[in-house]
Amino acid sequence: MTTTSTNRVVSATDDGLTGYADEERGMGWLFFAGTILGFAGIMRIIDSIWAFSYKGALPESLKNGVLGSNLHNYAWTWLIVGCVLILSSVALLARSQFARWIGLIAAMVGGVSAVTWMPYYPVWSLTYIGLAVVVFYALARYGGHRAT
């Protein structure tokens, strides 16, 4: 049995499974990229809250891990970046092309910035770099204009 709607074709089979023949290609990748960007934004906001809690003083264990001599500028930078990432995530899930470009730039910056934490958190840095590469791939491959 096949039912046709305005946007998609739904077909029911004998085993009760329903498939969407007209589903747009790459939507899962874009959902993944938007989710990861939103999660990265939340993590950056948590980083900024952590940095604000030190009231500008740099912990001894991070003397070589952060550029500069206090965490105040670091905290403000990550707060702004976190807000931009969350807004980009929401706009990306709504299929905004502008958000796609912000997401591509954010994935590049995120992957490169994870290298600075490599001596302190090697596994998490490599994980973050891997996620940035996958997000960049998803946005570059499937984030373009929809075919009409």
Quote the CA–CA distance of 124 and 28 in Å, as a whole number: 24
Q: Where are the domains of the chain?
A: 25-142
Report pLDDT digits (tens) over 47-69.
889 888 876 566 666 665 555 56
Checking if the pLDDT of 27 tops 60, the result is yes
Q: Are 78 and 47 in contact (CB under 8 A)?
A: yes
The model's pTM:
0.72
- Where are the strands (E) in the chain, listed by range? 2-4, 9-12, 18-20
Report pLDDT digits (tens) over 110-134.
888 888 778 878 998 899 899 999 9
